[in-house]
Amino acid sequence: MNARIERNGVVSNALAQIGACALFGLTLLGAVPGSMRHFRETLRQVWFVGAMSLTIIMTCGLFVGMVLALQLYDVLSIFGGTSATGTVVAIAIYRELGPVVTALLFAGRAGTSITAEIGLMRATDQIDAMEMMAVDPLAYVAAPRFLAGIVAVPLLTVMFCTMGVLGGHLVGVSWLGIDNGTFWSNMTATVDVWKDIIDGVIIKSFVFGIVVTLIAVFQGYTTPPTSEGVAYATTRTVVASSIAILALDFVLTAFLV
Amino acid sequence: MTQRRSYAVGTGLFIVLGFAALAYLATQTTSVANTGQGASYTVDAQFANVGQLKPRAPVKVAGVRIGQVKSIELTPGHEEATVKLAIDDKYKGIPDDSVATIFTSGLLGDQYVGLSFGSSKKALDDGGHIALTKPAQQLEDMLGRFFGGGSAPDRIGGTYHVTGHFTNVGSLTPGATVKLAGVPIGSVGKVVLTNDKLDAVVTLDIDKRYDQIPDDSAAAVFTSGLIGSQYVAIQPGGSPDMLKDGDQVVLTQSALQLEDLIGKFLVNGSPSDNKNNAGNGQPSQSNPQQSNPPAPGKK
């Protein structure tokens, strides 16, 4: 009986979180025009969440592409189809791994820091102080980070994909000895700019960017103003972002394929 | 101030780099790299069989891509596929007696249309028509011709919802495609075994649109490519009467067993002690363990 109440509590809690997050997102959209006055701040956030994440994104992209090429070469050699390695690496990265892994890394690298920063502002009453001084904290703190995330995630995803394909080339051509021309011509013969780049990379990463940054900002903004609360909020950012990314990935794929 | 400026420069660099990478991905790693973006003109060609040719497959002359396949349709009333080819405008001056052939890239590759030039002085224009075509080669036909006797219709039986009797349907399953000239015209309804004759009765559900199939057409179980799924191919006959619902397909050709063919080849090709196998290529059921077909094993 107890357990059942507990479970209901968890479910209704999750629903309440989703609902509150969506409502917060609408409020945040209302604050976006106001944040245009703080354009410098938005730019600084793009630098912080985007450009500073390049190292981890590019390194991971390179390794993902390399390991994919290695695995595929091993499997495809059973069928004598190693010349398809480049094609499969590109399609796997463009459609799935690029957007998803980038968004997951972004949630860990930038989402947590957004939550912690805003959460600490909340815990140390800086946000209340802004309201006192008639500065809209949504427009000055939340919206610039939100916009920066939306700009940064698609760009980071594209960088991830580029590094992934180059990593696949590095392993496939330089190491395993697939012919360079075969690698590229098979890729260009099969990969489609609309189905793979636009539907895969761009639309998915754009949606993931909105969702991950919204969750991060929401968790920070609504955190209980204690050090424990900030810790929980940071954890919830990663958990909720990961679930949202993978669930949305499935839904988007179902619609886009 | 310097602090702020470095943000701006770094952010700008990040954004420019991102868009440059996007442009690279979109133009260098996708089919955009192959497509001539310019205008094109359309010519059409009739093929007896398009095989696995798909829209957007390349059109090549001397191995150079000059355009792509625009559409593939079965013209109702004709047992032929009409293929429209979009050819880039810069490749004008293709003689109008050129021959269009459907080729396969490698053994398992995609199919494409190859053009070989004729000698006519007149060039193909927009809306032009290529009269000379060669259909896609069916692997079964080639193997059958090569091994002899294999491609002859081996059974009379059959019905619209048409049924056909096959001595062997291979791995044909209900729902498999029924094709005519390479274009899907229906699906396999049921595959059941008759108790009296011990052969397979296959029910073909053929689309009502395609009611112009002669009643002496043949049905054959083919495989898409070397390792693809199996389908039923209708090879039209010359009778003036058409197949109707409940009719029987008269001529059927069973699925070729790749193992049988290879076994036959190995036995005929090697000095075997099984004298029955010499000569006419008739299959012997007491087949040769000693011929040792290469087993797919681990490395």
Would you state the pLDDT for residue B277? 42
Rounded to 10 degrees, what is the CA torsion of B121, B40, A193, B27?
70
- Residue of A177 and B78 predicted with greater confidence: A177
- For the record, the structure tokens of A123 come out as 């815990």
Is the Cβ pair A193, B4 closer than 8 Å? no
pLDDT band at A148 (very low <50, low <70, confident <90, very high): very high
Instruction: Determine which helix (DSSP H) or strand (DSSP E) holds A13, and give its type and residue range.
Output: helix A2-35
Residue A177 has pLDDT above 60, yes or no: yes
Whether the CB of B16 is below 8 Å from some CB of chain A: the reply is no
Least confidently predicted of B11-20, B156-165, B269-278: B269-278
Say if residues B45 and B100 touch (Cβ distance below 8 Å).
yes
Question: What does the pLDDT average to over A225-234?
Answer: 92
Of B13, B22, B30, the CB nearest to A158: B22
Of B10, B15, B108, the CB nearest to A155: B15
Whether the CB of A4 is below 8 Å from some CB of chain B: the reply is no
pLDDT band at A202 (very low <50, low <70, confident <90, very high): very high
- A202 contacts in B (CB within 8 Å)? 22
Q: Give the strands of the sheet with B251-253, arranged side by side.
A: B155-156, B251-253, B218-223, B230-235, B177-180, B183-193, B200-206, B162-166
pLDDT band at B26 (very low <50, low <70, confident <90, very high): confident
Q: In Å, how far from its chain's centre is CA B225?
A: 7
Is the Cβ pair A162, B26 closer than 8 Å? no
Give B12→chain A minimum CA distance, Å: 9
Whether the CB of B9 is below 8 Å from some CB of chain A: the reply is no
Is the Cβ pair A51, B24 closer than 8 Å? no
Q: Highest-confidence range of A115-119, A181-185, B99-103, by mean pLDDT?
A: A115-119
What's phi and psi for B229, nearest 5 deg?
-80, 160
User: What pTM, to 2 d.p., does this model score?
Assistant: 0.61
Whether the CB of B15 is below 8 Å from some CB of chain A: the reply is yes
Give B298→chain A minimum CA distance, Å: 9
Q: Which amino acid is at B186?
A: G
- A74 contacts in B (CB within 8 Å)? none
Is the Cβ pair A47, B10 closer than 8 Å? yes
Of A154, A156, A189, the CB nearest to B31: A189
Residue keyed to tokens 């056909």: B164
Residues 119-138 of chain A with CB under 8 A from chain B are none
Whether the CB of A61 is below 8 Å from some CB of chain B: the reply is no
Residue A2 has pLDDT above 70, yes or no: no
Q: How far is CA A122 from CA A53, A127, B24, B196, B248, in A?
A: 25, 5, 43, 84, 81
Would you state the pLDDT for residue A209? 96
String of b and e for B80-102 (b: at least 16 CB within 10 Å)? bbbbebbbbeebeebbbebbbbb
Q: How far is CA B293 from CA A164, A183, B258, B266, B270, in A?
A: 42, 33, 12, 8, 12
Is the Cβ pair B21, A81 closer than 8 Å? no
Residue B29 has pLDDT above 90, yes or no: no
Question: What does the pLDDT average to over A92-102?
Answer: 95
Is the Cβ pair B11, A165 closer than 8 Å? no
d(CA B105, CA A83): 13
In the three-class reduction of DSSP (H, G, I as helix; E, B as strand; rest coil), residue A244 is classed as helix
Residue B147 has pLDDT above 90, yes or no: no
Whether the CB of B55 is below 8 Å from some CB of chain A: the reply is no
In the three-class reduction of DSSP (H, G, I as helix; E, B as strand; rest coil), residue B246 is classed as coil
Q: Which of B57, B43, B35 is nearest to B105 (CA)?
A: B57
pLDDT tens per residue across span B241-277: 887 777 778 788 887 777 777 777 776 654 444 444 4
ipTM value > 0.85: no
- Residue of A57 and B211 predicted with greater confidence: A57
What's phi and psi for B280, nearest 5 deg?
-80, 0
Give A144→chain B minimum CA distance, Å: 14
Strands B81-88 and B64-74: antiparallel
Q: Within a 10 A sphere around the Cβ of A132, how many other Cβ atoms?
A: 9
Is the Cβ pair B25, A151 closer than 8 Å? no
- B21 contacts in A (CB within 8 Å)? 155, 158-159, 161-162
Whether the CB of B7 is below 8 Å from some CB of chain A: the reply is yes
d(CA B12, CA B35): 32
Residues 177-216 of chain A with CB under 8 A from chain B are 184, 187-193, 196-197, 201-202
Residue keyed to tokens 């390179």: A62
pLDDT tens per residue across span B48-64: 888 878 777 888 888 88
d(CA A53, CA A105): 9
Most A-contacting residue of B4, B6, B14 (CB-CB within 10 A), to test interface:
B14
